[in-house]
Structure 1
Amino acid sequence: MYFENTGLENAAADLNLLDDIMLKHGLVREGQWDYERVTYDKKYVIKEGTFYLRVFGFTKDGDVGAHDAIITLMKPVVGKHYYPHGVEYGEEEHFPAHLLKSCEQTLAAVKADLNAFEIHA
């Protein structure tokens, strides 16, 4: 399920700054990157299952591996994890209201922190 109107889609920031802001709010990049793309995850383990809030990003001309990139964020999404198959984002998935509220609060907090540093094209 994608989150609409978060203000994060198309926001751009330096990779190192973005790593710090995301980590502050529980979104971890870990090894989920290649030289042009990143994924930040926040894991939720609740009675209804295991879910991931994900924020994807990409760079047009930087190098993520060298920590030298301006990252443009994409639309955030939440998905349910099914072992051993992976994460499903489909509309037929059930996402508890308390999970969605927590995700929305996290995304709003990230946006508030990012506002001071966002790069406007």
Structure 2
Amino acid sequence: MIFENTGLEKFKADLNRLDELMEDYGLERHGQWDYERVTYDRRFDLKEGTYYLRVQGYAVEGDVGAHKAVIQLMAPVIGKHYYPHGIEYGENEHFPKSLLSQCEKILSDVKENVEKVAL
């Protein structure tokens, strides 16, 4: 499921500042990158299953691997993890309302702080 109209997709920011900012909200990049793209994930373990809030972006300047890049953020998504297949983002997935509210709050806070460091 895509979180539409969060406003995050309007922003570009320095990769290192994004790494620090996203970590404050439990969104971690770990090893999920290539030279042009980044993915920040936050895992939620609920009785209904395991879910991931994901904020992605791509380099419009520089190189992610060198830690010198300007990242264009994309619309955030949430998905449910199914072992061993992976994460499903489909419209037919059920997402608990409390989880969606929590994610919307996180994304609102992230946006507020990304605005401060945006290029």
| TM-score, length basis structure 2 | 0.98
Structure 1 alignment gaps of length 5 or more: none
In 2, the alpha carbon distance for the partners of 1:42 and 1:77 equals: 11
Deviation at 1:65, TM superposition (A): 0.7
In 1, the alpha carbon distance for the partners of 2:11 and 2:47 equals: 33
Q: Give the aligned residue type for 2:18.
A: L
Which residue of the partner structure matches residue 99 of structure 1?
99
SS of the residue corresponding to residue 116 of structure 1 reads helix
Name the structure with the higher strand share.
2
Q: Percent identity at matched positions? A: 61
Which residue of the partner structure matches residue 43 of structure 1?
43
Which residue of the partner structure matches residue 13 of structure 1?
13
Aligned Cα root-mean-square deviation (Å):
0.6
In 2, the alpha carbon distance for the partners of 1:48 and 1:96 equals: 8
| TM-score, length basis structure 1 | 0.96
Deviation at 1:30, TM superposition (A): 0.3
Which residue of the partner structure matches residue 29 of structure 1?
29
1:48-100 Cα deviation digits (max 9, x unpaired) = 10000000100123100111000000010000000000000000000000000
Deviation at 1:10, TM superposition (A): 3.1
In 1, the alpha carbon distance for the partners of 2:32 and 2:22 equals: 14
Structure 2 alignment gaps of length 5 or more: none
Which residue of the partner structure matches residue 4 of structure 1?
4
Which residue of the partner structure matches residue 52 of structure 2?
52
SS of the residue corresponding to residue 68 of structure 2 reads coil
In 2, the alpha carbon distance for the partners of 1:18 and 1:51 equals: 22
8 Å CA contact 2:61–2:71 kept in 1: the answer is no
Q: Give the aligned residue type for 1:99.
A: L
- Please list every run of at least 4 consecutive aligned residues from structure 1 whose deviation after the TM superposition is greater than 2 angstroms: none
